[in-house]
């Protein structure tokens, strides 16, 4: 009944060990999956199934927007386009009371549309706006509320990463 439990626990221990050594996470998972496939799926036959599955998933263009969303978010973050976008929104808003809360919602909407990821949107807004909001006298709940609220917009604004993933799993055309 639990003949797979011991190898699975050894593989999990190996994964933790590889991560603690500083090996990149993607390569840790790839190494453990390859070793686990060989051990648990019957040696060479398991590796054949693994490579066919790997090439089948790589050649599927249904999930292609997901790495592109990640790349778009990373490019926007590293090139400071996101910070420039927030500064432009701040200037467009003028002198409205509570302007930074409105800027966080508008910026979250724009960034969510471009990146398709809730977590990257919240991380970008949090790193760029929380300090400025606290410096201008916003309390912690008033600075984090609009940022976290606008992070949920990425799931609803098409094309979102979650919609692409659910569409691919359900077999619906993206």
**Burial of 3 per CB tally in 10 Å (0-12, 13-18, 19+):** exposed
Q: Report the pLDDT value the prediction gives residue 20, as an integer from 0 to 100.
A: 92
CB-CB neighbours of 15 under 10 Å: 19
Q: Report the pLDDT value the prediction gives residue 2, as an integer from 0 to 100.
A: 59
Q: What is the pLDDT of residues 93-149, one digit of tens each?
A: 888 887 888 888 888 888 877 777 777 778 878 887 888 888 888 888 888 888 888
CB-CB neighbours of 36 under 10 Å: 20
- In the predicted model, what is the mean pLDDT of residues 45-52? 86
pLDDT above 90 covers a percentage of the chain that reads 2
Packed helices 81-93 and 65-78: angle between N→C axes, nearest 10 degrees: 70
Q: What is the pLDDT of residues 67-77, one digit of tens each?
A: 777 787 778 77
**Burial of 82 per CB tally in 10 Å (0-12, 13-18, 19+):** buried
- In the predicted model, what is the mean pLDDT of residues 148-164? 78
């Amino acid at each position: 009944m639990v003949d797979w439990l011991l190898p699975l626990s050894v593989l999990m221990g190996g994964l933790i060990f590889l991560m603690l050594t500083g090996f990149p996470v993607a390569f840790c998972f790839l190494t453990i999956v390859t070793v686990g496939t060989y051990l648990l799926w019957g040696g060479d036959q398991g590796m054949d199934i693994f490579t066919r599955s790997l090439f089948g998933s790589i050649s599927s263009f249904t999930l292609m927007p997901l790495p592109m969303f990640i790349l778009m978010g990373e490019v926007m973050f590293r090139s400071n386009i996101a910070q420039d976008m927030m500064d432009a929104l701040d200037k467009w808003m003028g002198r409205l009371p509570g302007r930074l809360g409105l800027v966080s919602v508008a910026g979250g909407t724009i960034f969510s549309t471009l990146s398709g990821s809730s977590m990257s949107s919240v991380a970008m807004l949090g790193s760029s706006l929380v300090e400025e909001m606290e410096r201008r006298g916003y309390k912690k709940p008033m600075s984090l509320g609009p940022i976290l609220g606008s992070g949920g917009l990425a799931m609803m604004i098409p094309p979102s990463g979650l919609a692409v993933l659910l569409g691919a799993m359900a077999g619906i055309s993206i």
